[in-house]
A = this chain, B = another copy of it.
Amino acid sequence: MSLLERVRACAVFDAEAYRPFVVGGEAVGLVHGDFAAALRPFADVFTVSEQAVELSPALSGCEERTSAIDAVLRRLAEDGWVRGWRDEAYDIVSPDRRRILFRMERAAVPRFGLMAFGVHVNGIVGGGGETKMWIGRRSPHKHTAPYKLDQLVAGGIAAGLGVLETLIKEAGEEAKVPAALARLARPAGIVSYRMERPEGLRNDILYLYDLELPADFAPVNTDGELEEFYLWPLRKVIDTVRDTDEFKFNCALVVIDYLVRHGHLSPDDDDYVEIVNGLHRGGH
| Nearest neighbor of A263 in chain B, beta-carbon distance | B186
Decide if B263 touches A188 in the complex (CB within 8 Å): yes
Decide if B276 touches A277 in the complex (CB within 8 Å): no
Bound complex: CA A267 to CA B186 (Å): 11
Which chain B residues border A192 with CB–CB below 8 Å?
273, 276-277
Main secondary structure of the interface of A (DSSP, over half): mixed
List CB contacts (< 8 Å) of A198-253 with chain B.
205, 207, 210
Copies of this chain, complex-wide, total: 2
What is the size category of the interface that chain A forms with chain B? 20 to 34
Least CB distance, A126 to chain B, in whole angstroms: 14
List CB contacts (< 8 Å) of A139-167 with chain B.
162-164
Q: Is residue A274 within 8 Å, beta carbon to beta carbon, of the partner chain?
A: yes
Decide if B190 touches A277 in the complex (CB within 8 Å): yes
Known A189-B261, A207-B267; 19 more pairs at CB < 8 Å = A97-B273, A163-B266, A163-B267, A164-B266, A164-B267, A188-B260, A188-B262, A189-B260, A189-B276, A190-B277, A192-B276, A192-B277, A205-B273, A210-B263, A261-B261, A273-B283, A276-B280, A277-B280, A280-B280
Residues of A within 8 A of B (CB): 97, 162-164, 186-190, 192, 205, 207, 210, 260-263, 265-268, 272-274, 276-277, 279-280, 282-284
16 contacts between A and B (CB under 8 A): A97-B273, A162-B268, A163-B268, A164-B266, A186-B262, A187-B266, A188-B260, A188-B262, A188-B263, A189-B260, A189-B276, A192-B277, A207-B267, A210-B263, A261-B261, A280-B280
